[in-house]
């Protein structure tokens, strides 16, 4: 029986394993050095915040794996011997494979800051980071202040985590406005405001100079590069992005870039070795996507796709329309299709922005200046229906069509105040159009 | 604000301490007045005999320091009272022991039994002959012979005892929880009875003030609306820690006392007498009135907490307002007010089979005795259970009842909200659930059929009273057992007492027969579902963790499958806590597959992959 070995028990590896099991009877082994069982990495924050225990973050009960004949192996792979199709563990053990899937995910970036390896400096990615945080920042008596370096999605999550235990947070963001490499200006400004509203000390347009230690080798303070200001703190969170976790492959024959180089079939240059998820790097970016996509959903999709290939239905990784979501403290964010921030926005992309006069609710609709084709939408504080936008993007609908049917896409809970009317009215006013909002139709919703 | 919050907590704790302490405070004195108060509804002979017996035994006007020693003596009085009353009644209108002996002597001749009406006439006065002959003429009917005097004596004394018992029945005092409670409540004297209003303030008043200070201060400490579940699993009260265990002990003790030994908490009912006075001047509150007040107070205070906690979520706000409305108006006020208009004091929203006494004889008699309106209320109960309930479940799911109307659900959604995460999400729990809830429904149906048949017989012909067995089951026995096992132990002691251990919906999930009935409709024929938003799920598990019904919501959401489950009560919290906007409670057309099919590939992946899978089908 063919033995499929998967290194990494995150969403990519586990999805691949589950789908291979659905499609075949192959022997499957998942290896992880991090935890015995699969857990949802995106939920780690909630464990520290006390919303859940670690077992609640495990999507499958512990019996699931044996029942589905998926073997779990705890261990750290230090070498891949592709010639003999063999893995070598840090413990010295070895394991044979017939096909190998590398799904080792990411690790937090460190940019060579002085003091970046001190006690009390941590990322927020692995379960071990959570344990570290629990050790250095159990409450606001032990941790007087935390400084977070890097204004991305993990950074704001870490800020929210620390804030849940009333630990004062200083948040250093390199950009002039939060996440404005991705978000259009209006949305980014709204998030800035919301961060400050939560009494998080947000510092925009600053970089970390160095982290200073006390006499025990523990974090004492940080220095801001631009101003030279020293901020005393007990914990430093490094959340300046992630990069593929592939150091163990350096001596192998597998072609590496920043990640493990793969083609559209998710195959590496070595036969029978594949890479999926955060650690995989496409030779050429797909559409507007980045060559490395460190996103939950893309990891899952690669797992689904690769399972088909491995089980005899070779498929290209061919993701559908881009979508993503996040939550910035209390503000939910969803995106469908492409809406660019200031940076990298194509010349043809025009935006329509609507914001609620006093609540943290807004949307940005991107469309083609000339053809009026709908390109994408960002929503903040309003939930929207994935199926609707996916279909409209498939059908290359116009922005007018989308706005006309916007009521179909609303996914807020019942009794929420609806904003479609004011949104359409503002669009009509700004664009001299006469779009009439259609009533929500179940018939159409089912066809999405 | 922090100070107010902590002060509120201490005030609340103080009120709980006072409330618990009142059980052990005050004295108990049986006086003629208190006896009249307790048994005022009965014949004057009862109060007089009982007072006399009490006096003879030195209990009358004696002051006891605890209800337990008091009850010890009172139970003795019950037995003595009953003996005395029975004997006196037998002398007057029944057959006394000496008369019985005379009959036996007259009826036995040289070891043979020769029992006839004439025998009776030779011994008893005319009125008694007629009565006893009517009950025993079968004993000398043709074909009936007695081999021994003993056998005859046995039959005869049995019949005579029966007659005497029914003659004395109205004057007996049964030693049960009701008479124990009635007598203790009236006999309570001392500090609490003298200061009811003060103690009402020190217990309920302070409890409300303290908890509202705690809750409302939270609004100012965390002024930005949003999901506020921080620290729930780090807190002793909500993570089965010692505070939770203490709350569990308190709640279980409360339910055990309320259901089985209400006399022990007679002081509590006295404390709420001033409130009962708003409905009937000078009336004394029963344990059920006390329970109603506690229920409403808990729901209102914790409902305010819900309004604050979920102020950003309109669904939660409207739903909480709805359960409060139905609890206060239907389950409490109308139940108190209807009897003032000579109508049955029933909870008009309480649908069978949750209302398991709907077809009992006394309940139906109550309806029928209350004129056209009473008959209409009976009719409404039937319509509610068999037409309105399933119809609304078809349109809106069982949530319309479970988390919008129901009293048990209302308490679970307000008082129980801090414990919702404690429900068991494992597959094994789901298996157990199906093995408990459906058998309870079957039990309820069988019980109702037997009881209903009995009621039908009695209403049709009041003389049928003795024949209460159907399908080999005694109607009163099965009703009593159902009430004890399901109504009291399961719904009360476990259902609410175990909030801090099993979560807030263990009754609704594992026991409620109405939930089972609606669940079947919801699963197979309903427009309700929880829609999953395409591929947006990140498997974080907030939805499953906070599902009070223990549904593993995530296992559906991460597959892109809509959630259609019989047990879902539609509280909407999964949708509220989802950080990615994945879940939405919806009522839409039910065309089968679209309601709950599992997509082969989750939305967002290769469109061609979809097509390939379609072709392979």
Tokens linked to A385: 């229906």
Integer CA distances (angstroms), A146 to A141, A220, B162, in order: 12, 10, 84
- pLDDT tens figures, B208-228: 999 999 999 999 999 999 999
- Domains of chain A, earliest start first: 3-107+243-310 (3.50.50.60), 121-240 (3.50.50.60), 331-447 (3.30.390)
Nearest CA in chain A to B586: A414
CB-CB under 8 Å, A42 with B538: yes
Predicted local confidence at residue B608, as pLDDT: 64
What proportion of chain B, given as a percentage, has pLDDT over 70?
Answer: 97
Of A138-147, B67-76, B455-464, the range with the lowest mean pLDDT is: B455-464
Nearest CA in chain B to A411: B584
A29 contacts A95 by C-beta, under 8 angstroms: yes
Q: How far apart are CA B295 and CA B519, in angstroms?
A: 26
CB-CB under 8 Å, A50 with B233: yes
A441 vs B: CB within 8 A: no
- pLDDT tens figures, B323-360: 999 999 999 999 999 999 989 999 999 999 999 999 99
CB-CB under 8 Å, A394 with B318: no
Q: How far apart are CA A273 and CA A83, in angstroms?
A: 11
Q: Give the residues across from A81 on adjacent strands.
A: A86
Q: Quick one: pLDDT band at residue B617, thresholds 50, 70, 90?
A: very low
Q: How far apart are CA A98 and CA A83, in angstroms?
A: 11
- Is this model's pTM higher than 0.90 or not? yes
- pLDDT tens figures, B562-579: 999 999 999 999 999 999
Count of helix runs (H) and strand runs (E) in chain A: 12, 25
Predicted local confidence at residue B90, as pLDDT: 81
B232 vs A: CB within 8 A: yes
User: In a 10 Å sphere around its CB, with 0-12 CB exposed, 13-18 middle and 19+ buried, how is residue B334 labelled?
Assistant: middle
Q: How far apart are CA A182 and CA A327, in angstroms?
A: 14
**Mean pLDDT on B459-488:** 85
Residue B594 has pLDDT above 90, yes or no: no
A67 vs B: CB within 8 A: no
B602 vs A: CB within 8 A: yes
CB-CB under 8 Å, A304 with B602: yes
- DSSP code string of A98-159: SEEEE---EEE-----TTTTSBTEE-SSSHHHHHHHHHH-SSTTT-S-EEEE--SHHHHHHH
A414 vs B: CB within 8 A: yes
Nearest CA in chain B to A325: B580
Q: Quick one: pLDDT band at residue B602, thresholds 50, 70, 90?
A: confident
* Closest C-alpha among B253, B257, B276 to residue B265: B257
B541 vs A: CB within 8 A: yes
CB-CB under 8 Å, A297 with B226: no
Q: How far is A269 from chain B (nearest CA, A)?
A: 23
Residues 393 through 432 of chain B touching chain A, CB cutoff 8 Å: 425-427
Predicted local confidence at residue B127, as pLDDT: 79
A395 vs B: CB within 8 A: no
CB-CB under 8 Å, A325 with B580: yes
Q: Which fold has domain B528-616?
A: Alpha-Beta Plaits (3.30.70)
**How big is the A-B interface in CB pairs under 8 Å?**
173
* Closest C-alpha among B334, B359, B356 to residue B347: B334
CB-CB under 8 Å, A305 with B536: no
Of A84-98, A402-416, B41-55, B300-314, the range with the lowest mean pLDDT is: B41-55
A383 vs B: CB within 8 A: yes
CB-CB under 8 Å, A56 with B539: no
In a mutagenesis test of the B interface, which of A133, A414, A443, A444 is the best target, namely the one with the most B β-carbons within 10 Å? A414
What proportion of chain B, given as a percentage, has pLDDT over 90?
Answer: 72
Given a cut of 50, the residues of chain A with pLDDT beneath it are: none
Residues 254 through 283 of chain B touching chain A, CB cutoff 8 Å: none
CB-CB under 8 Å, A313 with B540: no
CB-CB under 8 Å, A43 with B539: yes
Q: How far is A254 from chain B (nearest CA, A)?
A: 27
CA B409 to chain centre: 13
Q: How far apart are CA B110 and CA B352, in angstroms?
A: 62
Residue of A339 and B92 predicted with greater confidence: A339
Predicted local confidence at residue B335, as pLDDT: 93
List helix spans (H) across B40-176: 44-56, 67-92, 97-107, 117-123, 126-136, 149-168
Residue in B542, B579, B585 nearest the CB of A413: B585
Predicted local confidence at residue B600, as pLDDT: 78
Tokens linked to B357: 């006494």
Residue B311 has pLDDT above 80, yes or no: yes
Cβ-based contacts of A325 with chain B (< 8 Å): 536, 538, 580-581
Predicted local confidence at residue A276, as pLDDT: 98
Cβ-based contacts of B229 with chain A (< 8 Å): 49-51
Whose tokens are 């109702």? That residue is: B448
Nearest CA in chain B to A409: B533
Cβ-based contacts of A300 with chain B (< 8 Å): 535, 602
The residue extents of the domains of chain B are 27-189, 528-616
CB-CB under 8 Å, B538 with A51: no
Residue in B539, B579, B584 nearest the CB of A411: B584
ipTM > 0.90, yes or no: yes
Phi, psi angle pair for A275, to nearest 5°: -140, 140
Whose tokens are 């000579």? That residue is: B342
Integer CA distances (angstroms), A291 to A254, A280, A287, B220, B246, in order: 17, 8, 10, 47, 56
Cβ-based contacts of B531 with chain A (< 8 Å): 411
3-state secondary structure of A274: strand
- DSSP code string of B445-476: HHHHHHHHHHHHHHHH-GGGGG--EETTEEHH
Residue of B135 and B260 predicted with greater confidence: B260
Residue B459 has pLDDT above 90, yes or no: no
Cβ-based contacts of A315 with chain B (< 8 Å): 606, 608-609, 612
């Amino acid at each position: 029986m063919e033995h499929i070995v998967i290194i990494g028990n995150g969403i990519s590896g586990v999805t691949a394993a589950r789908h291979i099991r659905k499609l075949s009877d192959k022997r499957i082994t998942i290896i992880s050095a991090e935890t015995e069982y699969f857990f949802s990495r995106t939920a780690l924050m909630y464990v520290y915040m006390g919303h859940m225990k670690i077992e609640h973050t495990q999507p499958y009960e512990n019996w699931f794996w044996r029942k589905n004949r998926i073997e779990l192996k705890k261990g750290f792979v230090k070498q891949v011997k592709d010639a003999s199709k063999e893995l070598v563990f840090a413990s010295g053990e070895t394991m044979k494979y017939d096909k190998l899937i590398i799904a080792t995910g990411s690790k937090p970036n460190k940019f060579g800051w002085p003091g970046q390896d001190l006690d009390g400096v941590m990322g927020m990615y692995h379960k071990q980071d959570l344990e570290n945080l629990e050790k250095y920042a159990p409450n606001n008596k032990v941790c007087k202040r935390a400084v977070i370096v890097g204004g991305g999605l993990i950074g704001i999550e870490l800020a929210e985590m620390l804030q849940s235990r009333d630990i004062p947070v200083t948040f250093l963001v390199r950009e002039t406005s939060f996440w404005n490499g991705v978000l259009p200006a209006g949305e980014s400004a709204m998030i800035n405001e919301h961060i400050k509203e939560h009494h998080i000390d947000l510092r925009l347009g600053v970089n970390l100079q160095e982290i200073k230690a006390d006499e025990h080798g523990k974090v004492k303070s940080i220095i801001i590069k631009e101003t030279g200001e020293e901020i005393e703190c007990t914990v430093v969170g490094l959340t300046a992005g992630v990069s593929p976790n592939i150091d163990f492959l350096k001596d192998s024959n597998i072609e590496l870039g920043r990640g493990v180089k793969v083609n559209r079939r998710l195959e590496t240059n070595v036969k029978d070795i594949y890479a999926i998820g955060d650690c995989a790097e496409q030779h050429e970016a797909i559409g507007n996507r980045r060559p490395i996509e460190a996103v939950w959903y893309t990891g899952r999709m690669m797992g689904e796709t690769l399972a088909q290939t491995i089980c005899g239905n070779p498929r290209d990784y061919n993701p559908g329309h881009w979508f993503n979501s996040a939550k910035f403290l209390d503000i939910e964010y969803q995106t469908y299709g492409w809406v660019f921030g200031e940076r990298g926005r194509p010349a043809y992309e025009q935006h329509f922005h609507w914001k609620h006069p006093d609540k943290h609710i807004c949307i940005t609709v991107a469309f083609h200046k000339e053809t009026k084709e709908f390109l994408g939408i960002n929503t903040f504080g309003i939930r929207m229906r994935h199926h609707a936008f996916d279909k409209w993007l498939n059908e290359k609908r116009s922005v007018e069509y989308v706005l006309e049917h916007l009521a179909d896409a609303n996914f807020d809970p019942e009794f929420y105040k609806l904003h479609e009317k004011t949104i359409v009215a503002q669009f009509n006013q700004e664009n001299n159009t006469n779009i009439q909002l259609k009533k929500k139709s179940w018939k159409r919703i089912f066809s999405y | 604000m922090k100070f107010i919050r902590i002060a509120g907590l201490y005030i609340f704790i103080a009120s709980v301490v006072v409330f618990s302490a009142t059980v052990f405070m005050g004295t108990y004195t049986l006086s003629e007045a208190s006896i009249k108060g307790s048994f005022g509804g009965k014949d004057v002979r009862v109060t007089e005999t009982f007072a006399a017996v009490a006096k003879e035994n030195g209990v009358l006007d004696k002051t006891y320091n605890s209800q337990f020693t008091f009850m010890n003596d009172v139970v003795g009085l019950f037995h003595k009272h009953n003996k005395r009353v029975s004997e006196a009644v037998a002398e007057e209108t029944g057959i006394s022991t000496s008369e019985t002996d005379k009959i036996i002597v007259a009826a036995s001749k040289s070891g043979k039994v020769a029992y006839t009406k004439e025998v009776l006439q030779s011994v008893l006065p005319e009125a008694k002959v007629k009565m006893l002959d009517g009950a025993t003429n079968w004993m000398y009917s043709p074909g009936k012979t007695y081999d021994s005097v003993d056998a005859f004596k046995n039959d005869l004394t049995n019949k005579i005892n029966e007659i005497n018992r029914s003659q004395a029945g109205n004057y007996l005092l049964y030693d049960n929880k009701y008479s124990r409670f009635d007598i203790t409540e009236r006999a309570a004297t001392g500090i609490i009875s003298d200061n009811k209003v003060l103690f009402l303030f020190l217990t309920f008043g302070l409890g409300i003030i303290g908890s509202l200070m705690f809750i409302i201060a939270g609004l100012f400490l965390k002024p930005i609306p949003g999901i506020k579940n921080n620290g729930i699993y780090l807190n002793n009260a909500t993570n089965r820690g010692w505070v939770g265990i203490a709350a569990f002990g308190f709640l279980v003790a409360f339910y055990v006392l309320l259901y089985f030994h209400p006399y022990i908490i007679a002081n509590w009912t006295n404390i709420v007498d001033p409130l009962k006075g708003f409905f009937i001047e000078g009336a004394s509150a029963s344990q059920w009135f006390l329970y109603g007040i506690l229920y409403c107070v808990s729901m209102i205070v914790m409902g305010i907490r819900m309004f604050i906690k979920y102020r950003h979520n309109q669904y939660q706000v409207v739903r909480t307002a709805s359960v409060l409305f139905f609890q206060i108006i239907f389950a409490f006020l109308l139940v108190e007010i209807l009897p003032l208009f000579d109508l049955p004091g029933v909870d008009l929203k309480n649908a069978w089979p949750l209302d398991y006494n709907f077809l009992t004889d006394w309940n139906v008699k109550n309806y029928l005795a209350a004129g056209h309106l009473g008959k209409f209320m009976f009719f409404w109960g039937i319509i509610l259970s068999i037409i309105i309930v399933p119809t609304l479940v078809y349109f809106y799911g069982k949530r319309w009842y479970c988390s919008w109307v129901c009293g048990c659900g209302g308490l679970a959604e307000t008082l129980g909200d801090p414990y919702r995460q404690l429900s068991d999400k494992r597959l094994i729990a789901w298996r157990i659930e199906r093995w408990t809830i459906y058998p309870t429904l079957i039990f309820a149906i069988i019980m109702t059929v037997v009881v209903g048949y009995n009621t039908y017989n009695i209403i049709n012909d009041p003389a049928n009273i003795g024949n209460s067995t159907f399908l080999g089951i005694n109607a009163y026995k099965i009703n009593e057992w159902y009430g004890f096992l399901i109504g009291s132990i399961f719904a009360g002691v476990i259902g609410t007492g175990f909030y801090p251990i099993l979560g807030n919906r263990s009754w609704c999930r594992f026991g409620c027969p109405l939930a089972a009935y609606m669940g079947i409709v919801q699963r197979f024929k309903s427009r309700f579902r929880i829609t999953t938003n395409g591929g947006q799920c990140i498997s974080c598990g907030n939805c499953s963790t906070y599902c009070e019904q223990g549904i593993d919501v995530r296992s559906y959401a991460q597959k892109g499958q809509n959630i259609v489950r019989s047990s879902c009560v539609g509280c909407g919290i999964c949708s509220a806590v989802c950080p990615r906007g994945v879940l939405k409670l919806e009522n839409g057309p039910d065309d089968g597959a679209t309601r709950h099919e599992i997509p082969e590939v989750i939305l967002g992946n290769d469109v061609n992959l979809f097509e390939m899978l379609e072709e392979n089908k």
